[in-house]
Structure 1
Amino acid sequence: MSLDRTAEDLLAAVQASPRAVAAHDKNTWVGLFVDNAAVHDPYGAREHIGRDAISRFYNVFIAPNSIVFRVERDLVAGRTVVRDLHIETTMSTGATVTVPMHLRYDLIESGGGWRIARLAAHWELAVMIRRLLGTGPSGLLAGCKLGPQLVTELGAGGAMGMMRGLRGVGATGKRVVGRLFGAAAAGDVAGVRDLLGARAEVELPAGHPVDAATFAELARDMEWDKLIAAGRTVSASVRIGAARGVAFVDFAADEPRIVAVTVFLDGPLSGHLSS
């Protein structure tokens, strides 16, 4: 199977998810995942592992709502698909909120096709809550309804696990990422090395390991926006030359120290050093 055909098949498997969500077809949506799949939504909150847990996740967050995926860009590398998008959710009370998001799907071959082994939804729970409450009484009512639904479907532990999505690297992580990207854009190799340290794993583009100096050269003049801090990861929409994509910057568990940078791009780094 050609790489291009594989990429098309991976993307088709991922595109089946919003179709099933829009149709409120629970069986089809849950069936997109392998038996022991993990859903991190939002990333940093307690994960939902296995189809039973994913089914309960559907009951709480998808079944009562109308959800529209407004996709700006799809990126495929290896067996991973990354989507740069906004998601618009209309609650059962009529409250509508839109949040910026980066979705990462890791897929494996199963049953003669591709299925999702891991879904990581990078969005900020605090932003979602503020925007929901900002819609007025309908948003407040939606929040009041969500609490009991969480406990009923996920249990008290699951409800508390959802709140873990409020913790993470937050604004500090965003500032560190801004400094890293700023140093790279300026060709400041020393600054990039200082922020990455000796042990950070860097892939630019995804699947192609590079050292700090090469990252600085490849990413010279890069642009970025849409910084999202979810858990111990900051994601960003990026542009390097003619290529656009999404970068994921992972931090250590106990300090704002970068441990990995992975950049998914939609094209080659034309005009840059080949990695």
Structure 2
Amino acid sequence: MVGTFMTFTRSDVLATAERSPAAAGAHDRGGWVGLFAADGRVEDPVGSAPHQGHGAIGLFYDTFIGPRDITYRPDADVVTGSTVVRDGELDIVMGAVDLRVPVYIRYDVRDADGELKIAALSAFWELPAMVGQFLKGGFAGVPAGLALSKSLLVNQGAVGVLGYLGGLRGTGARGKRRIGQFLDDARAGDEVAVRRWLSKGARLTIGDDLPLSTTELLSRVAGTRSRKFIASGYSVAVGLDRDGKRDVLIADVAAKSIAIDRIRYFTDDA
């Protein structure tokens, strides 16, 4: 989306994204759903079935946000054109269980009749890891688990439950290791090795649209330090720190070969 958004400032775009966790934390259902465009989309976690339109987004709220206390703890924000990628952690209280969930949340924002709305929210976090945390709560988590199961069935139906459980599938630890090795080769300036990681026809961009050559990618990655790796579905998101600034790289990988099909590089220096 780089180059397509001219009317509003970086601060305006970021403020729109910041309203989402604020409304969720305040249990403001109408306020939260109203942040989205009429055809807005929520994919949370990435890899699960998306929820599109105010009706579906409202049911998503009723299932996953309204019944629990969620606090977003920000670490860094990256704004590229009309896209915000927020790097932070979710503190989710489900009954007697307190979950800490590392996350990257991507917000795509657009102008809707002179007002900024969220066109898409894509949350990169690891559902298997969260389930593992929940199970460690033992019997204390049983009431919350039963309540979530009932809410899923009531609000999402059997198809919706299966769609949510799709978030358990994905590239996992293997994908994170491969992306780590890819970044090591990029930092070493080994463009031949970097190209070997890419599938035929792989597309590299800054944001969604601005073409990014492998040479420029190596230049941007050089001297960076990787932060947390998150595997969500068949995507891996990783923060890259250098000189007190953070960029975020999101790679889409093939299901079988783990070749990289797509790289989106988010930076304030687009």
Question: Would you call these one fold, judging by a TM-score over 0.5?
Answer: yes
1:200 aligned counterpart, secondary structure: strand
CA distance in 1, matches of 2:253, 2:181: 14
Per the alignment, do residues 214 and 56 of structure 1 end up closer, same or farther by CA in structure 2, a change over 3 Å counting? same
CA contact (8 A) 1:132 1:140 kept: no
Q: Given the alignment of the two structures, is residue 100 of structure 1 paired with residue 102 of structure 2, yes or no? A: yes
1:240 Cα shift?
Answer: 3.9
1:202 Cα shift?
Answer: 1.6
CA distance in 2, matches of 1:206, 1:53: 25
Residue 215 of structure 2, aligned match among 207, 210, 213: 213
Partner of 1:171: 173
CA contact (8 A) 2:227 2:241 kept: no
Superimposed CA distance per residue, residues 62-95 of structure 1 (whole angstroms, 9 cap, x where no aligned partner): 111111000001111111011000000011x231
- Return 5+ residue gaps in structure 1 as ranges: 269-275
CA distance in 1, matches of 2:100, 2:76: 17
> Equivalent residues in 2 for 1:101-140 (5 A)?
101-140=103-142
TM-score by length of 1: 0.90
Instruction: Kindly provide the amino acid, as one letter, of the partner of residue 216 in structure 2.
Output: T
Residue 228 of structure 1, aligned match among 204, 227, 230: 230
1:35 Cα shift?
Answer: 1.1
Per the alignment, do residues 204 and 242 of structure 1 end up closer, same or farther by CA in structure 2, a change over 3 Å counting? farther
TM-score by length of 2: 0.92
Q: Given the alignment of the two structures, is residue 89 of structure 1 paired with residue 114 of structure 2, yes or no? A: no
> Equivalent residues in 2 for 1:188-207 (5 A)?
188-204=190-206
CA distance in 1, matches of 2:30, 2:251: 34
Residue 159 of structure 2, aligned match among 153, 157, 160: 157
Provide the aligned C-alpha RMSD in A. Answer: 1.9
CA distance in 2, matches of 1:217, 1:89: 38
CA contact (8 A) 2:83 2:207 kept: no
Superimposed CA distance per residue, residues 13-41 of structure 1 (whole angstroms, 9 cap, x where no aligned partner): 11111111121110010000111111000
Instruction: Kindly provide the amino acid, as one letter, of the partner of residue 51 in structure 2.
Output: H
2:109 aligned counterpart, secondary structure: strand
The size of the alignment, in residue pairs, is 266
CA distance in 1, matches of 2:206, 2:33: 33
- Higher relative contact order, chain-length normalized (CA < 8 Å, sep 6+): 2
CA contact (8 A) 1:181 1:222 kept: no
Partner of 1:273: none
1:144 Cα shift?
Answer: 2.0
1:128 Cα shift?
Answer: 0.7
Residue 70 of structure 1, aligned match among 58, 61, 73: 73
1:117 Cα shift?
Answer: 0.8
1:3 Cα shift?
Answer: 6.1
Q: Given the alignment of the two structures, is residue 23 of structure 1 paired with residue 32 of structure 2, yes or no? A: no
Quick check: 52-61 or 248-257, which moved more? 248-257
Partner of 2:184: 182
- Return 5+ residue gaps in structure 2 as ranges: none
Partner of 1:13: 16
CA contact (8 A) 2:37 2:119 kept: yes
CA contact (8 A) 2:81 2:207 kept: no
